[in-house]
Amino acid sequence: MRLLILTQKVDQNGNVLGFFHRWIIEFAKHAEKVLVICLYEGEHNFPKNVEVYSLGKEKGPSRLKYVVRFYRLLWELRGQYDGVLVHMNQVYVILGGIIWRFAGTPVGLWYAHRARTFSLWLAEKFTNVVFTNSSASFTVPTKKAKYLGHGIDVAALVPPASFMEAKNKYAIVSVGRISPDKDQKTIVRACGILLRQGVPITCAFVGAPSASGDSEYFQELQTLVKRENIESNVFFKGGLPQSEVFPFYWRSNIHINACERGSLDKVILEAAAAGAIPVVANDAFEDTLGEYTDRLIFKKGDAEDLAKRIKDLIESNDQEGVRAMMAKRVRTNFDLAVLVKNIINWYETSR
């Protein structure tokens, strides 16, 4: 099996897409050759059977050059791959779909976001299969969807022997882009409530603004922290590479995600696998949380409810049991190695 993968960015130190570096390594274990076309090429360390080709964004922006280089690479790499996997960018499918259709090359799109756009609708017409984690993660009507769950690099999330910090039961972390969609304001307000009740929590936000309007929201968030008078307990760490995010999971007791219902957020699963108890507003996690659903899902936008659930967890006697069970479920159901095997199997059986 020879696979062509198209993705936005290849950079093992990237704070958003850095995880995909590990995906490529996993695909390389099951494929004779992996060719990767990316928009931006950063630092990477791949096995010998992986070749990376950049469209050149790291050298400066030029959409016309990207497109020209894209088609030139398709010509140069023709006959060198048996299947195409596009990761989270339907534009690649639209650009190359007709070529791959005439060549008889199967095209898969991995997409995990509830957005529904015309470009996504159009791309679906050119794919043979859409890989996604749940029905909430691909909302364009299709019969091509295969629901595979997330791919979590569970081995990398186990604390190494060199990590000597003990878990702090009062430490909270929230990982994700600073954005109104993530509703960090509710988390800040909950922290203020807990501190006024004498619960000595600390909360670290790991992530940075990235989309339009996010910077303004970040300023509002900082102002709220000052208004709540909790600047000594709430910290903004900015965007970090994955390797620097993991220690926050290892030392923190609780990971909070305040997003409303949507797809199964990968960050929540990573935090759970690493040993941080997930507290979420997204009821799409009910099946994963199981018997802990009532304790770990809070009302969207309700800081009082969130504060109560955090306090109850901190004061409970079964934290270690909850932590161990959630980690086990993620490792059993969302292992990256299993997901990659399932994707590779689809290509091999479709030839």
Identify the CATH number of the domain in which residue 83 sits: 3.40.50.2000
Q: Which of 78, 269, 274, 301 is nearest to 163 (CA)?
A: 274
Same domain, 262 and 344: no
Q: How many domains does the chain have?
A: 2
Could you tell me where the DSSP H helices lie in the chain? 20-30, 63-76, 90-103, 118-126, 184-196, 214-227, 242-251, 266-273, 286-289, 293-296, 303-315, 319-333, 336-350
Contact 146, 132 (CB under 8 A): yes
Q: Provide the pLDDT for residue 262.
A: 65
Same domain, 176 and 289: yes
Q: Which of 50, 88, 86 is nearest to 70 (CA)?
A: 86
Q: Exposed/middle/buried for 150, CB within 10 Å: 0-12, 13-18, 19+?
A: buried
pLDDT one-digit tens code per residue, 312-331: 999 999 999 999 999 999 98
Same domain, 75 and 114: yes
Same domain, 64 and 87: yes
- Which residues have CB under 8 Å from 133's CB, separation 6+? 112, 147, 148, 149, 150, 263, 264, 266
CA separation for the pair 19, 68 (Å, rounded): 28
> 149's torsion region: left (phi>0), alpha (psi -120 to 50) or beta?
left
Give pLDDT < 70 ranges for the chain.
261-263
Q: Provide the pLDDT for residue 133.
A: 86
Q: What residue numbers bound the domain in which 138 lies?
A: 2-151+335-350
> 49's torsion region: left (phi>0), alpha (psi -120 to 50) or beta?
alpha
Q: Provide the pLDDT for residue 263.
A: 64
Record the pTM.
0.82
Same domain, 136 and 253: no
Same domain, 258 and 225: yes
Contact 89, 105 (CB under 8 A): no
Same domain, 142 and 223: no
